[in-house]
Amino acid sequence: QGQVAQPLAPVVDETLALFRQGHPAMRFRFTPPAAVPPVAFDRAAIRRALLNMLDNAVAACEAAPHRVGEVEIAIVHDAAREVVALEVADNGTGMTPEVKHRVFEPYFSTKRDGTGLGMAIVAAIVADHRAYIRAGANQPHGARFTIDFPVRGDGAPAAV
């Protein structure tokens, strides 16, 4: 299979379908973008990364029971930076500065039953794609994770 130039939206749609079925009380928002260049990625690997990110977003929302859990996914082309960004934002409990600093470390978890491998796997998959991931706050509540996939200035996928 390998890394093939393709649009990100279909893999997001497929993955979200599972979460919408499994978590009917939560709101999942994703509007496929109009004009975003394809990026080179391994479909199975990015699906796995997205599953792990959504699992964490759902857990963070469930830990904040005073509001309806919301997860928003966006795909944005930043031509100036030559990236296509895949963002997963939730309105859950958010992250302390220590958690934000350690979130991609293997065996680090804030969940009682967590292995601490989910986001470490995401980080490894992102690195395999020569992409970049960052974690931050989602205002006014929750966390936002952004993966920047490289593209060439002409809109063609970057060589990987």
Distance, in Å, from the CA atom of 8 to the CA atom of 126, rounded to the nearest integer, reads 14
Distance, in Å, from the CA atom of 37 to the CA atom of 1, rounded to the nearest integer, reads 20
Buried b (16+ CB within 10 A) or exposed e, 108-137: bbbeeeeeeebbbbbbebbeebebebebee
pLDDT at 111 over 80: no
| Residue 87 near residue 29 (C-beta atoms within 8 A) | no
- The model's pLDDT over 49-66, given as tens digits with 9 standing for 90+, comes to 999 999 999 999 998 878
pLDDT at residue 135, rounded to an integer? 94
Quick one: average pLDDT of 150-157?
59
Type and span of the H or E element at 4: strand 4-6
**If you search the block for the tokens 């966006």, which residue do you land on?**
74
- The model's pLDDT over 11-51, given as tens digits with 9 standing for 90+, comes to 999 999 999 999 999 999 999 888 899 999 999 999 999 99
